[in-house]
Structure 1
């Protein structure tokens, strides 16, 4: 697999070094180098870029600001990020914008290659997941991003899903510890069949077969009670009416 990539850094020496590292890496193809995020946007809008080596502190548009602009893109139009920075206090922010890795300057080629290998492995796993994405229900599993890897989860084992501010918790049968994945509840909802799963609250999706009892304003799964949000009552009552 060849990854089309660009480098963005306002420091000429750092930008040149990253470009040289890219050019000597067989599975990376350099599609452009830019001294600012604003200059990079034109290429990102016109070409399919798989990976960005992105400095964080830059004038006009910071790396984090550019990352947030790209965060709304979906599918192949959303490039992955590897941050390159001289400051070590941005790791959490990098994780929040779904960065694949975080290279602290000065870094050598060995460190660069390790991050690039991680990007290639992740892209290959995404490709495999995409091939099965349209038949996830038939195949019986989906992939969740957990830290910097994709974890395969059996759909039948999902009990319910809880949405938090930056993460989603997926609660499974046969384990007390939920899977914590960096995604949105909406994105995960789109991957699941509405025949099997239903959103009953702004923060909750439940597997319908796991519901053990229902009241006017809540569903129960075992000892857990989940309120039914006002905007979801009509849809849930429509589902429930089929069995009454």
Structure 2
């Protein structure tokens, strides 16, 4: 007589054919080997769960010096060659909340953040092998002492936006701002920024907008642009829009 082995239990072939909806019997006395496999699988599952539940390691924070040196938060000199630019603190470019007065006597508070592009340039322009690579997402950047030095004026330039010249760039990606009285051998020092609604609190101060300085550097000649104002920019931002470029 033919027999079949179903999950460790001997079953008569004739008995299996008696019912089309035959369901294999459960293991009444599982073998030690099968029990061991179950325990190993359960242990592996527990291990994966415990790994997923572990808190992620905190990212390191760094401080940048005028000479391009990078120190860890414990004061030790950094020796890593690749650094997350978002974790680098530049003392004179720390985030802050600024209150701007508008044309209609209204005032608004903006949280201002400065991108690493204010003190770095693309690695593709490097003349020699850089000591550090600063990662802005997937983009590789290197320390630029010229941009770093000029950035000491950046906070004052941004905080006086209502008094400075603002224009819409042709790309419509951001706004350009400069003060024609601040020039160097390279040209006018220009900041490029975006502004969007972002309610929150920073250092105990409430704000309604986020202004991000995407980049800042000196240019030999200002690119063509349409003049605008901070009041117009904030008015459009309230509608989740931007001031569109129109050819002068």
TM-score scaled by structure 2? 0.29
Higher relative contact order (CA 8 A, sep 6+): 2
Structure with a larger share of its residues in strand? 2
In our comparison, the structure showing a higher alpha carbon Rg is 2
* Structure 1 or 2: more helix by fraction: 1
